[in-house]
Amino acid sequence: MPYCLGLQTAANAFLSIGFATQFTLAIVLSLIIITISSSFQKDPTDAPAPLPGSSLLHIFPFFRRRFDFLNWGFHASGQNIFRFNLLRNSVIVVSGESARETFFTAKGLDLTEGFKILSGAIPMVRGVTSDLQSRRIHLIHKRLANIQRNAPLSDLMPVLLEDSRQHMKTWGSSGKFDPFEKVYELIFQLTIRSLSCKEIADDPALVAKLKRLYDDLDTGTTPATVLLPWLPTPAMIKKLWSTKAIYDIINKAINEREASGAHHNDTLQMLLDAGDEKLVVVGFIMGLLIAGARATGTTASWMLTFLGGHPEWRSKAAAEVEGLLASMPSSSSSSQPLSSRLATIPLDVWETETPVLDAIIKETLRVAQPHTAMRRNIGPDCYIDNKRIPTGAYVIYPFSDVHLDPELYPDPWKFDPARKEDSNVPFSYVGWGGGKTTCLGTRLAKVELKLVTSLFILGFEHSVIEPSTGEPSNPLPTPNWNDILLCRPPQGSFALAYSRTQVPL
């Protein structure tokens, strides 16, 4: 009887508190139950080694200091494969040459399912950007390939150069800026131009608004919003509002195009002319805009930073582009705007005759792209280095395992585009992915990077400085792999000083 009275008293006390407190207590109790129940589960002998400590303590560092957390995990487990839990989600982290090869080639490890739960920064709209049928996913991939065919990409290049020229003109004749702001803004504009429509790309205020909304998605992505998406936290509410606002902007542009009957040579027109259903059109633009802008924006920001700190490579890249211009009779007049002259260089020349730019891009991706490849095993069970990967488990492979491996890349943090890749080691470089999953926007991204870099290094002189003193940075900025989006050093730790050359943009 006393036990019943005690339970009744506790129940009355629980009901008397506010709903917010009740909800919080219920969540905490659920997490405790999950943790306790997980601790009683016995691991099979072929299971990866578990991380020590409570699984609840692994959540925050995985999302906020991932590079340090994963390195600690390999050290703490003493294994090249270890396991931890994100609530009820089992996550297996792999490293090493054989594990890497299996990871990138195993049929059952699915990219889409893996990215959905472990990332969370893409705007998720059911049936538009998430929970897509395989037919729709295949169609989106096909359309992205169509954009990057020779004719559309060739038509796009002069427009990208003009957008870049207009953007760089706003920087003035000299000054200093944080590339992770100014250069990223430029790449976002080019991504809008490449993957959406004229109505949005021609409206600077609308482009800026979209960038703010996508930035809100990034800052609103917390462990709770990823793992407990049904929990109405302020961050989740902010994410939902931003997602709806992005959807409304894109949907409005589509409606206006259809109502006006106007025809423009852009991605939206290609999608409409193909007769794609509206959800595919909206999803294509919503999802690919930020996927393209993030990766390419990060690479472009670091490329110009590295070139500012390594003038010998800046000179090599400038000489290469000047050589291309000299070989184009129609671009020989230096009185023409640089953007117009660069637009005369054919696509195939940019792609096959720029070994210096190619090497700079490759090295930048190696040392300053903090990717963690994410997959989910959709079945059947498989093995990586004799450890069982059960169906439903998430598997991740940190690119740092190979790209910062001193055995493959001596002095791995050093920016050295002259490095030679070891072709005898499988997947010794995975900057654009590997195996059955490579970046589908590689061709467009490389063109954007080459055009922006060429326009900047011929149109401006620049260097890396200490913002407060204006003196050259010493040491140069180091990529921060714990920043899983931009690999960005501490804000305010450096800037790029620039001044216009005599070459007209």
Domains of the chain: 134-500 (1.10.630.10)
Q: For residue 177, what pLDDT band results from cuts at 50, 70 and 90?
A: very high
CA distance 490 to 496: 14
> Phi first, then psi: what are they for 85, rounded to 5°?
-115, 140
Q: Report how far apart, in Å, the C-alpha atoms of 411 and of each of 136, 407, 408, 415, 416 are.
A: 44, 9, 10, 9, 10
CA distance 69 to 236: 25
In the predicted model, what is the mean pLDDT of residues 395-410?
Answer: 96
User: Minimum mean pLDDT among 155-164, 229-238, 338-347, 368-377: which range?
Assistant: 229-238
- Of the ranges 52-56, 276-280, 284-288, 361-365, the best mean pLDDT one: 361-365
CA distance 106 to 382: 8
Query: Looking at the predicted structure, is the pLDDT value of residue 30 above 90?
Result: no
Question: Sign of torsion, CA 237 240 246 250?
Answer: negative
pLDDT attached to residue 3 = 41
Q: Report CA Rg, the chain.
A: 25
∠ CA(18), CA(23), CA(27), 5° rounding?
Answer: 150
Residue 382 assigned ligand-binding role: no
Query: Looking at the predicted structure, is the pLDDT value of residue 4 above 50?
Result: no
Average pLDDT value for the chain: 87
What's the full length of the chain, in residues? 505
